[in-house]
Amino acid sequence: MRILYILLLAGAAVFYLLYSDNLSFVTLIMLMVFPAILFILLLITSIGISAEFEDEHIIAEKGRPFSMNVKVRNRTFLPISNVRIYVRYSNRFDGKIYKRIVNIPASSKSCETVSFNMNYAHCGVVDIEIKKVVIFDLIKLFRIPKRILKTAYATVLPEAVPVTAEVTSCADTDMDSDTFYSDRPGDDPSEVFDLREYYDGDNLNRVHWKLSSRNDELIIREFSKPYTSTILILPEISDCHSENEADAVLGIMNSIAVYLVEQGIELTVGRVLPQDGGAVFEKIQHSEDLLYFCCSILEDMRADSMTKLADNAASSENTMKIYSHIIYISPDCDIDSLSAIKNASSARLTYIQPVSDVKQKRNAFSEADEYIPVSLSDIGSELLNINL
């Protein structure tokens, strides 16, 4: 459009030189003043333009496209022919930056929404931000950039491949445990879950007589239910040196956890807290618990600042002793980590290692009771008949 305007202006100038009359003069003046009018109008519209994400957080699945919506608001009485939005996004794991440009017109006093698809091939948290917007006049003769820092993020969940497992260790529910459910009562009198009023049919042995005498009504003690999950999964993110390895570790963890939840079997998954590097053990009872855990571990995942989960978990000996089966997932495990886990618990230890070639001979890993190599490109092939 700039070239066209220059040609028109040159033609008007030649026309005025050849035909020096009022029409040629007015035409030349209008073409000379027209850019100034466009620029002033563009300055006015730049004051009233804004852009922001419609949703600050989106949950997506690895390898599947998802949409990000951007709302562009024009508060002025002038339409804008084109608003160019510069978007930048990066995965927190490796920090690689990618860029995207989105264009949309904006009518006067309106709020327009533009969608653009993203398809992230790796799991993790993708930080997305609007760096700036650039607005153009009607004939795109001028442009004015406007810095707008708006952020959002997408949590890309790991895949869950089908698992066909023989569950044996979960049948042992008589193990002593000092950990109790926070959301359900049980029959363990060593810990009181809640106090409530008496209902017909309640066991009189559970009446809190001292408190009942003070309140002139029967008060019942509800006992706690000990946590009896015997499967602990430890995904070692600190050993992952690439996005493919992180995908495999979290994909294996998620696949096993999804299978156990679908079977109604409770489990525990460990992760490292970024604040102090300590290990925390999350109880997974429902699919919502697993979703929350996946979001938490992905938000904290970094390629260069992860603390070793195995060492921190092994230091929690009292917690480790309540499990009968520990599944340790790492692409690059050392003997010391396996030994630390084994020494902290008498549980059966399964070591699952994502590798590039499952046929390649590996170390015996005598510290583990079972060793399962899994292909980085096809984690489901070796998880079809895992013994839990």
pLDDT digits (tens, 9 = 90+) for 241-284: 888 888 999 999 999 999 888 888 888 999 888 776 678 888 89
CA distance 219 to 221: 7
Give me the DSSP letters along 313-371: HHT-HHHHTT-SEEEEE-SS--HHHHHHHHHH--SEEEEEEEES-TTS-----TTSSEE
Task: Specify the pTM.
Answer: 0.72
pLDDT at 320: 77
Dump pLDDT digits (tens) for 286-304.
899 999 999 988 888 775 5
pLDDT at 127: 92
Q: Answer yes or no: is pLDDT of 156 > 70.
A: yes
256 vs 314, higher pLDDT: 256
pLDDT at 228: 54
313 vs 59, higher pLDDT: 59
Contacts of 82 (CB under 8 A, 6+ apart): 103, 104, 105, 135, 136, 140
pLDDT at 103: 92
pLDDT at 229: 55
Q: Answer yes or no: is pLDDT of 130 > 90.
A: yes
Lowest mean pLDDT among 74-83, 216-225, 292-301: 216-225
pLDDT at 84: 93
Q: Answer yes or no: is pLDDT of 187 > 70.
A: no
pLDDT at 174: 46
CA distance 321 to 309: 16
Q: Per-residue confidence at 70, pLDDT binned at 50, 70, 90?
A: very high
Mean pLDDT value of segment 182-203: 72
Q: How far is CA 192 from the centre of its chain?
A: 36
Task: Kindly report the average pLDDT of the chain as a whole number.
Answer: 82
Dump pLDDT digits (tens) for 16-55.
787 877 787 788 888 788 888 888 988 999 899 999 999 9
Closest to 250 in 3D by CA, of 172, 344, 159, 166: 159
Mean pLDDT value of segment 126-150: 90
Closest to 332 in 3D by CA, of 297, 296, 376: 376
pLDDT at 164: 73
Dump pLDDT digits (tens) for 82-97.
999 999 998 888 788 8
CA distance 324 to 232: 8
